[in-house]
Amino acid sequence: MVAGKYISTLLIVISLAVVVLSFNIEEQDVFDPSSPSFFPALVGVVMLISALMIARRGIQSPSSAQEETKQHVAVEGNDEEEPEKEMYEKENITQKGINIRLILFTALVVLFAILMNYINFMVLSFLFLFGSMLLLSREKMLRSFIVSLIVSVAFYYTFVHVFHIVFP
Amino acid sequence: MLRKTAISVIAFSMLMLAGCGSQPASNASNSSAPQGNASAPQESTTNFPTGTVTGVIQWGAGGALDTMSRKIGPLAEKHLGNSLVLTNKPGATGAIAVQYVNDKKSDGHNLLFAAENPALYGVMKISDVDFKDFYPVNILARGIATVVVPGDSKYQTLDDLIKDAQANPGKVKMASTGPGGLPFTVTTMLGTVTNTQYNMVPFDGDGPSLTALLGGHLDATVLGLPAAIENAKAGKVRVLSVINDERIDELKDVPAVVETLPDMKKYLPWGPFYGVWVKKDTPDDVKKYLVDVFAKAQQDPDFQDFLSNSGAISVGISGDEAVKYWMDWQSTTAWLLQDAGAAKVSPADLNIEKKN
Amino acid sequence: MLDQILVPFMDIQLLILIALGTLFGVVKGLLPGLSVTMAVTLLVSLTYTWETIPAIVTMIAVFYGGVYGGARSSILINVPGSASSLAHTFDGYPLTKRGEAGVAIGITTIYAVIGGAIGLLCLGVAAPFLGELALGFAARDYFLIMFLGLLLVGGLSEGSMAKAIFVAGVGVTLGMVGMDSLTGVERFTFGNLELKSGINYIACMLGLFGLSEVLIQLHNLGKTKADVIIGKVLPPLIYLIKFLPLTIRTAIIGVVVGILPGAGGEISSLLAYDHAKKTVKNPTRPFGKGAYEGLVAPEVAVMSTNGGAMIPMLTLGIPGDAVTAVLIGAMTIHGLKPGPMLMVETPELFWIILGAALVSLIFIVIWGLSAISFFARVILIPKYVLMPIIVFFTVIGSYGINNSVADVYWMIVFGVIGYLLRLYKFPTGPMVLGIILGPQMDVYLRRAIITEEGSIWGFVSSLFIHPISLILTLFVLFTLFSQTALYKKVKGQLLQKFSKKSADV
């Protein structure tokens, strides 16, 4: 699998990086077990070994892994006494839709973090909460609005006055 | 489509708000009435403080600095005129906290509660920002070190310990709390004066090294006075020497180190110290105000009782006097480390005068 | 002096304080990211002007309540309330997914009390002895314990050991970023001051479990089916008996880890979980899918650790974990002198603390069992509302560690990493294990070697010479061995032989 090869190579590169960086730790002898670079190098080597083993077995991409588990479940499904109940209805959305949603949501969180230094925290939390709720669902906007309002105000006061957390 | 518009509107409005200019400490408009109201706040021409003052503690919760800071904090708050909120920001031998306060505005609303460590940041190559970038509001107190051994140790006096070390260089196990830490420096002092070497076993702090000593995993260690007294009373340790130029009242039977090793006198008095700092370029009247506030707090009988109970010696100096204090300390300690080969940067390169 | 135990039970003011303190602790514990240590620290300032006894008693209540409360968010939303509740996610969250959130909370409550009580029993009966025992642990023993904890990785692998090991390795490496505490040398910092202080494991945990969980959940925003049953609240009484041996064993693990200065709930819960996995042959369900034992073990351990941690605090003045370190500071501020003389000069303090903790346990049952259905309904909140709120908490939680936005960025980074890991079927648990245990293992290993003056042979032989080390070394070797194919083969053959024999008879 193409995806598999990329990931295995990535893992190997990471392990090698760890080992090399360990050698570079200032003025330390990697082979002296009492030095700060011994353990990191050791860990790097272990990582390298596991990365190679992973490469051998091959990485599964998400979709193929799901198919495999589905087959797995179909075979074993009758053995388990209490199958996990389906907690959620299946939502109608495409893979692409999911990816867009994920990226936007993550972007919102990052934005939240960046703006923490510039905007009053209570206002910012309200915006973030309301914004992300809207992002995720267009329905019941009023409810989202109210909940965001209550949560941001309530927790702002709790954190500042009860916990004395100083916000930027 | 509608959803995407809504999102872009929100994102846009967030950016607009940011563009409208950064706001000062958001607590100003939201904090409740100042908690300190015991005595009227000082007269001040510039209306300082205009909001909550933050005290950043350089070490972690529960340690000596933390305990002292949290003891004086509320006392200072009484005279401050607004809330004083203390928070810990440990890491990198306290450099993280120093950097943090240094990054803030020089308006006196951010105070640094530090121990003596910043004086060594230069020679130990820990950070470029240290005491020289700050103004000492009050050096509260200093501590005294002792040399202790387990209660059942074969060493009866400091002399015994040194003789053993001379006979077996590098074998006597002493604790160290890291480069520049108290045990490290004292042991280096002893080593230089008596020409001995020890096996320095590193620990994260006083607590773990004491634990190791009590468990017999160490031969000796350097311990702060309060812990030494308590454990000696219980018979768990024996105090061989007090690193001071004279005996201590609570330990009358323990010789001061100068009695055993007169050559130590050139380093003393010496010990860790704890204080409150503010950025160097803070306006003068704000500095004066803070100095007054903390002077009152430091002299408060409650705090003085605390100091004597903790075996710390009250210092209570500010401004130029305090600067001289830490510079002297720095000079002694930095050159000591340099001579022992433990410094990463020579004090000479940092323009630190050599005293003796 | 024993009668002093009753003081907290009789004094109305103290009772109220304990009730409130415990409640505060429980509520705070269930907010992900806000640690018990923080809560107790802020109580130090709050109670500054109070008299000593009420102040200390309240802090004890918050301590116990908080450690207990952390389990709740682990169970309900798979986000650990604190590092000590990490192990609760393994079987707690699957229980919620099966609709048994109520039982899960009920179990943690009951067993929290049992575990806490056992810990306090040890405190009351054997404190001085246990305190001395703790001193006997040398650096090499700590190393062995951490190593044991790290071997838990094998149990979390869900299949591919190699993946688990790799992820753990990444965790260990990340844990070593920063200034080495032993030598001050910088590792993996690339000269950056922010990296100098290392990567905070709480931010890592919040991201790896909190944010990534949310991101995974975002795959499917379907409505939660209303007919998911919350379930009974109390497990059948039979279980109390069935789990008794496990309870006692994990409580011992908890107390032992507690008395060791510097090792606290994070470690005891993991060791207990691992122990349960290895020793319970027929769990109520497979581990990782909602086994009751998987919840009992960590909870008992974590609460008994509280009691254990107070032993060195009270007998030696040395903290058994982070919270007890703060408590020691608080005692100093109030004019007490923690140290070996504390019990001699103020013995009543010891018993009052014990009594207060017991009362706190009672309130844990009260607060814990009430409103269970209310809390369990949390999962019924529509995802599009719940997810942002959870993320909100992870952000605040990561910020609140050190009042630094940098930690929030780390949390986000780990969130994305965690999401990707899950996507490609890599386990995430080992990374947190690595980040917490890795650096500690490194430090203890080096300290042990230095103590032996740098000689590896000296180090290895010390593992076998000293009794405590010998026991631990055997444990480690056995654990390692039991992972290998050879062991499984031998075990299989032995079992076959036995079943044949009984069949013949």
- Ordered DSSP codes for B311-346: TPEEEEE-HHHHHHHHHHHHHHHHHHHHHTT--SS-
In this structure, what CATH number is given to the domain that contains residue B262? 3.40.190.10
pLDDT value at residue C42: 79
Task: Give the SS3 label for residue C50.
Answer: coil
- The sign one gets for the Cα dihedral C25, C27, C30, C31 is negative
Task: Check whether residue B169 and residue B222 sit in a common domain.
Answer: yes
Q: Which tokens go with C439? A: 């650096």
Q: Which of C38-47, C224-233, C238-247 has the lowest mean pLDDT?
A: C224-233
Task: Tell me the two tokens of residue C146.
Answer: 């951490």
Cβ contacts of C157 within 8 Å, gap of 6 or more = C163, C164, C427, C430
pLDDT in tens, C243-289: 888 889 999 999 988 888 877 888 888 888 888 887 777 777 777 77
Within 8 A of B200 by CB-CB distance, chain C residues are 450
The confidence score (pLDDT) of residue A80 equals 35
Minimum mean pLDDT range among B48-62, B163-177, C37-51, C189-203: C189-203
**What is the distance between the alpha carbons of residues C65 and C59, in angstroms, rounded to a whole number?**
10
Contact B7 A104 (CB under 8 A): yes
Q: Do residues A58 and A99 share a domain?
A: no
Residue B12 has pLDDT above 60, yes or no: no
Residue C248 lies in a domain: yes
3-state secondary structure of A121: helix
In a domain, A86, yes or no: no
Do both B66 and B138 map to the same domain? Answer: yes
User: Which chain C residues touch B63 with a CB distance below 8 Å?
Assistant: 325, 329
Rounded CA separation A46/C173 (Å): 11
Structure tokens that stand for C123 in this block: 């405190």
Task: Write down the pLDDT at residue B33.
Answer: 35
pLDDT value at position B287? 92
Kindly state whether A87 is in contact with chain C, defined as any CB-CB distance less than 8 angstroms: yes
Residue C330: partners with Cβ closer than 8 Å, 6 or more residues away = C40, C43, C44, C47, C55, C56, C59
Contacts of C172 in chain A (CB under 8 A): 39, 43
B88/C41 Cβ within 8 A: yes
pLDDT in the model for residue A27:
62
Best residue of A134, A141, A157 to probe chain B, by most B CBs closer than 10 Å: A134
Tokens read off for B307 = 């100091």
Q: How far is A143 from chain B (nearest CA, A)?
A: 16
Same domain, A57 and A100: no
pLDDT, tens digit (0-9, with 9 covering 90-100), for B110-144: 999 999 889 988 888 778 888 999 999 999 999 88
Section A33-59 average pLDDT: 79
Element (H, E) at B173: strand B173-176
Q: For the ranges A30-34, A41-45, B304-308, C30-34, which has the lowest average pLDDT?
A: A30-34
- The answer, yes or no, to whether ipTM is higher than 0.85 is no
Q: Give the number of A-C residue pairs with CB atoms closer than 8 Å.
A: 191
Least confident of A70-79, B53-62, B294-303, C484-493: A70-79
Q: Is residue B55 part of a domain?
A: yes
- Asked if A111's CB is within 8 angstroms of B11's CB, the reply is yes
B253/B172 same-domain check: yes
Domain total of chain B:
2
pLDDT band per the 50, 70, 90 thresholds, residue A105: confident
Summary mean pLDDT of chain C: 81
Residue A39 resides in a domain = yes
Please tell me whether residues B278 and B260 are part of one structural domain.
no
Residue C47 has pLDDT above 90, yes or no: no
Residue range B38-76, pLDDT digits in tens: 344 444 456 788 878 889 998 877 678 888 898 899 899
Whether the ω angle into residue C54 lies within 30 degrees of 0, i.e. cis, is: no
> Nearest-CA distance from B296 to chain C in Å?
18
Decide if pLDDT at B24 tops 60: no
Instruction: Sort out which chain A residues have CB atoms less than 8 A from B57's CB and list them.
Output: none
User: What range defines the domain where residue B117 resides?
Assistant: 51-142+272-350
Does C504 reside within a domain?
Answer: no
Reply yes or no: is the peptide bond before residue B283 cis, omega within 30 of 0.
no
Asked if the C-beta of B348 comes within 8 angstroms of chain A's C-beta atoms, the answer is no
Q: Is residue A76 in a domain? A: no
- With CA atoms as reference, the chain A residue closest to B86 would be A164
Closest in C317, C325, C450 to B230, CB measured: C317
Report which of residues C300 and A134 the model is more confident about.
C300
A145 part of a folded domain: yes
Q: Stretch B227-240: mean pLDDT, rounded? A: 85
SS3 A98: helix
| Residues on chain C touching A11 (C-beta within 8 angstroms) | 166
Among C37, C312, C451, the residue with its CB nearest the CB of B201 is: C451
Q: What span, in angstroms and rounded, lies between the C-alpha atoms of B341 and B124?
A: 11
Chain C interface includes B234 (CB < 8 A): yes
Asked if B242 contacts B248 with a C-beta cutoff of 8 angstroms, the reply is: yes
CB-based contact C273:C87 (threshold 8 Å):
yes
Cβ–Cβ under 8 Å, residues B57 and B65: yes
pLDDT, position B289:
92
B147: tokens are: 């040399």
Q: From the candidates A102, A106, A135, which should be mutated to test the interface with B, based on the most B CB atoms within 10 A? A: A135
- Nearest by Cα to B210 from B150, B144, B137: B150
Q: Is the residue at C502 inside a domain?
A: no
Q: Are the beta carbons of C389 and A89 separated by less than 8 Å?
A: no
Beta carbons of B11 and A138 less than 8 Å apart: no
- Judge whether C4 is closer than 8 Å to chain B, CB to CB: no
Whether B37 contacts chain C with CB within 8 A: no
Instruction: Specify if C356 maps to a domain.
Output: yes
The chains found to touch C (3+ Cβ pairs under 8 angstroms) are A, B
Averaged pLDDT for residues A134-151: 77
Domain annotation covers residue A155: yes
User: Do B159 and B60 belong to one domain?
Assistant: no
Instruction: List all residues of chain A from 107 to 166 with a beta carbon under 8 Å from chain B.
Output: 108, 111, 115, 117-124, 127, 130-131, 134-135, 138, 156, 160-161, 164, 166
Asked, for residue C505, whether it belongs to a domain, the answer is no
Residue-range definition of the domain harbouring residue C155: 2-496
Contact assignment for B236 to C134 by CB distance below 8 Å: no
Indicate if B213 and B283 belong to the same structural domain.
no
- The confidence score (pLDDT) of residue B293 equals 93
Radius of gyration of chain C (CA): 23
- Please write the tens of the pLDDT for every residue from B143-186: 888 899 998 888 888 888 889 888 888 888 898 876 667 788 88
Q: Report how many domains make up chain C.
A: 1
Does the pLDDT value for residue B342 go beyond 50?
A: yes
Residue B79 resides in a domain: yes
Cβ(C310)–Cβ(C324) under 8 Å? yes
- Distance (Å) of CA B152 to CA A100, B217, B220, B233, C497: 69, 13, 12, 14, 56
For chain B, give the mean pLDDT: 80
Is B355 domain-assigned? no
Task: Select from B219, B247, B267 the last residue of a domain.
Answer: B267
CA C327/CA C43 separation, integer angstroms: 10
Same domain, yes or no, for A101 and A148?
yes
Pair B262, B171 in one domain: yes
User: What's the pLDDT band for C90 if we cut at 50, 70, 90?
Assistant: confident
**pLDDT for position B183:** 83
Does B115 or A153 have the greater pLDDT score? B115
DSSP letters for A41-89: HHHHHHHHHHHHHHHHH-PPPHHHHHHHHHHHHHHHTTT-SSPPP--BP
In angstroms, rounded to a whole number, what is the distance separating the alpha carbons of residues B245 and B264? 9
Q: Over the stretch C315-345, which tens digit does the pLDDT of each residue have?
A: 888 887 888 888 888 888 887 888 787 888 8
**Statement: residue B356 has pLDDT above 70:** no
Q: pLDDT value at position A75?
A: 38
CA distance A113 to C159: 36
Single out the residue in B267, B294, B315 at which a domain terminates.
Answer: B267
Among A14, A39, A62, which residue terminates a domain? A62
Q: Which of residues 319-348 of C touch B (CB under 8 A)?
A: 319, 322, 325-329, 332-333, 335, 337-341, 344
Q: Which of B206, B236, B267 is the last residue of a domain?
A: B267
pLDDT score of A71 more than 70: no
In this complex, the chains that touch A, judged by 3 or more CB pairs closer than 8 A, are B, C
* One domain, residues B82 and B160: no
Do residues B276 and B131 both lie within one domain?
Answer: yes
Split into its structural domains, chain A has a count of 2
Q: Cβ of B211 and C312 within 8 Å?
A: yes
Confidence of residue C374 (pLDDT cuts 50, 70, 90): low
Q: In terms of domains, do A110 and A158 share one? A: yes
Give residue B135's pLDDT. 94
Residues B87 and B227 in one domain: no
Q: Check pLDDT > 60 for residue B35.
A: no
Look up the domain containing A152 and give its range: 95-162
Q: Which residue has the higher pLDDT, C10 or C121?
A: C121
User: What is the end-to-end Cα distance of chain C in Å, rounded?
Assistant: 61
Q: Is residue B102 a part of any domain in this protein?
A: yes
Beta bridge partners of C179: C186
| Highest mean pLDDT: which range of A37-51, B137-151, C172-186 | B137-151
